[in-house]
Amino acid sequence: MSAARRAPHPAATGVARPGPLSGIRIVDLTTVVLGPLATQILGDLGADVVKVESPDGDIMRYAGPARHRDMGHVFLNLNRNKRSLCLDLKRPEAAQILLELVRQSDALLHNMRPQAIARLGFGYEQLREVNPRLIYCAAHGYGQDGPLADRPAFDDIIQGASGFVALEQATGGEARFVPTLVGDKTVGITMVYALLAALFQRERTGRGKQVEVPMLETMTAFVMAEHMGGLTFDPPLGPPGYARMLAPDRRPHRTSDGHICILPYSDRHWRDFFRVAGRPELADDPRLADAQTRSRHVAELYALVAECVRGETTAHWLAALKAADIPCGPVNSLDRLPEDEHLAAVDFFPVQEHPSEGRIRSTRPAVRFGEADCGLRLPAPRLGEHSREILRELGFAEAQIADLMARRIAGEPSS
Instruction: Compute the average pLDDT of residues 245-263.
Output: 96
Instruction: Compute the average pLDDT of residues 6-15.
Output: 45
Closest CA to 363 of 143, 80, 68: 80
pLDDT-above-70 percentage for the chain: 96
**Residue 132 identity (one-letter amino acid):** P
Architecture of the domain spanning 7-224+348-411: 3-Layer(aba) Sandwich (3.40)
145 confidence band (pLDDT: 50, 70, 90) = very high
Q: For every residue of 232-292, which 3-state class applies, written as one string?
A: HCCCCCCCCCCHHHHCCCCCCEECCCCEEEECCCCHHHHHHHHHHCCCHHHHHCHHHCCHH
Query: 376-412 pLDDT, tens per residue?
Result: 899 999 999 999 999 999 999 999 999 999 999 999 9
Please say if the pLDDT value at position 6 is more than 90. Answer: no
Please say if the pLDDT value at position 208 is more than 60. Answer: yes
75 confidence band (pLDDT: 50, 70, 90) = very high
Q: What share of the chain is helix, strand, coil (3-state, %, to 5)?
A: 45, 10, 40
CA geometry: angle 250, 253, 258, nearest 5 deg = 150
Please say if the pLDDT value at position 10 is more than 80. Answer: no
372 confidence band (pLDDT: 50, 70, 90) = low
The predicted pLDDT at position 18 comes to 77
Query: 102-133 pLDDT, tens per residue?
Result: 999 999 999 999 989 999 999 999 999 999 99
Domain with CATH 3.30.1540.10 in the chain: 253-330
Query: 264-273 pLDDT, tens per residue?
Result: 999 999 999 9
Instruction: Compute the average pLDDT of residues 5-11.
Output: 41
11 confidence band (pLDDT: 50, 70, 90) = very low
The predicted pLDDT at position 368 comes to 85
The predicted pLDDT at position 371 comes to 72
3 confidence band (pLDDT: 50, 70, 90) = very low
> Whole-angstrom Cα distance, residue 342 to residue 338?
9
CA distances (Å), 119 to each of 112, 114, 115, 122, 126, in order? Answer: 11, 9, 6, 8, 11
Domain with CATH 3.40.50.10540 in the chain: 7-224+348-411
The predicted pLDDT at position 91 comes to 96
End-to-end, the C-alpha distance of the chain in Å comes to 44
When the candidates are 3.30.1540.10, 3.40.50.2000, 3.30.70.1230, 3.50.50.60, the CATH number that belongs to 253-330 is 3.30.1540.10
Query: 26-70 pLDDT, tens per residue?
Result: 999 999 999 999 999 999 999 999 999 999 999 999 999 999 999
The predicted pLDDT at position 17 comes to 66
Instruction: Compute the average pLDDT of residues 196-213.
Output: 98
Mean pLDDT of the chain: 94
What is the SS3 assignment for 335?
helix
